[in-house]
Amino acid sequence: MNIDNLLRRNLLGGQEYEPLFPAVSCDKTNLGNGNTFDTVRMIKQMVVKYNHQTKEVAKVLQQSSLKETCDKIYWFLFNHIQYKADGLEQMLRSPACAFKQRVEGVDCKTYSIFASCLLANMGVRHYIRQIKQPSFRPDLYTHVYVIVPLNQETGNIKEGYLIIDGTTSNNREPIYTMEHDTEINLPHYGLNAPKPRTVAKKSKTVATKGKTVATKNSNGKVVLGIGAFLTGLFLLGKK
């Protein structure tokens, strides 16, 4: 029996959730080649880029306690999205695409993206855990899932954690020989930039006093003109 048949489940309809996801075409985009650490890095990028797709369904699935919330997310993933192992091509589906192709099936990477997006919208700290399994290619990291620290303030997984693994029928952590955890932190932005000040410039109207400046040449012409006038009157008087 292959792994697809082993992990196959009977799905619930899920039509009531369809309006909560945006419409997508599931077009394929080449994200490049890489090892499992590159895959986890891409998973994180997918969560940052597409977590908004689960904003509405996260409101429906969130419960009053952390454990109940994780159990509800697992229940949703296991009962509404079929499992199908990836072949040579590694498929990283957005949540909306995963739900659209839920009957066709997804693998552990997409389950992890989906769970991480839901937790991000709920404000729950969590990690993507990749593991090496003794029973399957023990030299490689071959499985990923989500772990949620019980201590949400410190995020310290040594104090205990919950898991969300949509591939399993019991949501129990598999046996592993080595693990590597990557915390999913979304970018934050401060929105308190100072408002630019508008300074009104006072317009100054400077009134200049009109000044009549007589130059030496013009004064000389005036004096000569008066002298000629007086001389003419004197001569007329003599006649």
Per-residue model confidence as pLDDT tens for the chain (239 residues)? 688 898 999 999 999 999 999 999 998 877 777 788 999 999 999 999 999 999 999 999 999 999 999 999 999 999 999 999 987 677 899 999 999 999 999 999 999 999 999 999 999 999 999 999 998 999 999 999 999 999 999 999 999 999 999 999 999 999 999 999 999 988 766 777 667 676 555 555 544 444 444 444 444 444 444 444 444 433 444 44
Q: What's the pLDDT at 239?
A: 40
Q: Which domains does the chain have, with CATH numbers?
A: 36-183 (3.10.620.30)
Q: What's the pLDDT at 220?
A: 45
Q: What's the pLDDT at 76?
A: 98
Residue type at 195 in one-letter notation: K
CA distances from 239 to 226, 235, 236 (A): 21, 7, 5
Q: What's the pLDDT at 33?
A: 72
Q: How far is residue 56's CA from residue 50's CA, in Å, rounded to a whole number?
A: 13
Question: pTM value?
Answer: 0.78
CA distances from 65 to 69, 70, 157 (A): 6, 9, 18
- Work out the number of other CB atoms within 10 angstroms of the CB of residue 158: 8
Q: Is the dihedral of CA 146, 151, 157, 160 positive or negative?
A: negative
Long-range contacts: 79-83, Cβ < 8 Å, 24+? 79/9, 79/11, 79/12, 80/11, 80/12, 80/14, 80/17, 81/11, 81/105, 81/106, 81/111, 81/114, 81/166, 82/8, 82/9, 82/11, 82/106, 83/4, 83/7, 83/8, 83/9, 83/107, 83/166, 83/167
Given a contact cutoff of 8 angstroms between Cβ atoms, the answer to whether 106 and 89 are in contact is no
Q: What's the pLDDT at 100?
A: 97
Q: How far is residue 34's CA from residue 85's CA, in Å, rounded to a whole number?
A: 18
Q: How far is residue 35's CA from residue 24's CA, in Å, rounded to a whole number?
A: 28
